[in-house]
Structure 1
């Protein structure tokens, strides 16, 4: 009588297989993104273009927009305050939808997730690949916003925006993109495809209105209870980190608090998303 012994591949082999599978899945998603680059740019541009045209061009033209906080001398222009917020909300929306919508489609209609789950890698590798892919798309969308907000404005209303701290700017963009992607994966494991129409009412609108997009978080000190409520909004930290790098003269949160909150959000939302993803796919 003979016995068969199953020998598991060495750890180095598993790591190599996991890395190659991750790279192949990411390469596939990036090729799809490249083919849809025009659509990505259009989605990224439309919201900031609409807000910039209204706030930075129309209102000054009709005499209803001055310096931020009124007509006080030396107050920053509203367009200056607006730039980091618009970049942040664009990254947030793109990062969330770039992972949430495809995930729901793959879990329900196309059933592609069943094929991906057959890959010889741990389930978390597939989930992390989705986060990285969505973060790249969110980063590209955020960068597309800059030409819009810098070019669309009334005469004399150009935003005073410069990169004062390149390491902080790069870190803020990277953390914002990862946080948005982790949030999107988490929401994708919570929402059902039949209820995705509630996404804007339940998620996107509160993120925008309470995300300090059109004003710095420090200005909410006039409404203390709301200032504390907005601390639960990840978009607040995305925008405040960009304000610290682009418009340090405008009030913003301490940099250490922004970086700590975004890193903690990535760990928390990412961890919950990975757990729910494994349960949703295998359950």
Structure 2
């Protein structure tokens, strides 16, 4: 039975918890708005960074080569659904934009904040539990990844000589995939940024990021690897595979793609694992 003392102290305890939650929420929003202000000031470099790689790839492989009458030779996977290479490529390039933006938004700034500037010390001084400082970075990077996907889509649609065929039948699934992929990319960026020394970030891009991109079913559907069974199984540890396949299932359902439940499940699993690893590394670098 509840005592009179407990009844007297419960409202005060609840009020204290509410005040603490409000304080944390305001601190989280403050960090988020600060990063948003910095992004607004650097919007033009951000857009250039997002556009340059997919624009050049699209221009060469979906505009120049088809006009040279070599498009069929360069498109071994499009025949799986009678589609142009641009249809195969569109979801993959969006996944690459999400991945690169998420990693660049977290790993590169962390290299500076843990390095010479030590800006990370100012961030962890805010009235917010240290793990939530890391989570804020993931959330903000996800915003950049969503923007990057929205920028790349019209490029991938209008630049090719033959416009890709897209047909969205399930908008909630598309939104879910984009959000999960964006958060996963940010979590991967946090894991990379807290696992390597600042001077080794450039090496990680060459050794880790580029290989997982080329082996991430970006330029071909996962089903096209049927005749290379060991590789088809091996790439399943790569989170960008599920980003590409998820966007392919949402935007170009006529192409072969993974089961939607498998895609969502693996994106959630990747997000949880990478977030745990990233926060663990963040705490080690900040506190330990």
Structure 2: unaligned runs, 5 residues or longer: 1-12
Give how far 1:69 is off: 3.3
**C-alpha separation in 2, matches of 1:198 and 1:71:** 34
Asked if residue 243 in structure 1 is aligned to residue 248 in structure 2, the reply is yes
Give the match for residue 45 of structure 2. Answer: 39
User: 1:69–1:75: 8 Å Cα contact kept in structure 2?
Assistant: no
Q: Deviations over 1:22-67 (max 9, x none)?
A: 0000000001111111111111111110110111011111111139
CA distance in 2, matches of 1:219, 1:186: 30
2-side partners of 1:73 and 1:203: how far apart?
30
1:58 aligns with 2:64: yes
Superposed, 1:1-283 pairs within 5 Å as 10-66=16-72, 68-69=75-76, 75-154=82-161, 157-283=162-288
Q: Deviation at 1:73?
A: 9.5
From the superposition, tell whether residues 196 and 14 of structure 1 become closer, same or farther in structure 2 (CA, over 3 Å).
same
Q: Are residues 71 and 48 of structure 1, via their aligned partners in 2, closer, same or farther at CA, if it must alter by over 3 Å?
A: closer
Shift of 1:93: 0.7
- Specify the SS of the correspondent of 1:108: coil
Alpha-carbon contact 2:77-2:85 (below 8 Å) kept: no
Q: CA offset at residue 163 of structure 1?
A: 2.2
Alpha-carbon deviations, 1:155-184, whole Å to 9, x = none?
xx1111232221111111101100000000
Q: Secondary structure at the match of 1:251?
A: coil
Contact preservation (8 Å) 2:77, 2:224 = no
State the TM-score, normalizing by the size of structure 1: 0.93
Structure 2: distance between partners of 1:69 and 1:31: 45
SS in 1 for 2:226: helix
Q: State the aligned residue count.
A: 275
Deviates more, 1:118-127 or 1:250-259: 118-127
Contact 1:139 1:173 in 2 (8 A): yes
Once the 2 structures are TM-superposed, how far is the Cα of residue 200 of structure 1 from its aligned partner?
2.1
Give the TM-score taking structure 2 as reference length.
0.91
Root-mean-square deviation (Å): 1.8
CA distance in 1, matches of 2:283, 2:18: 24
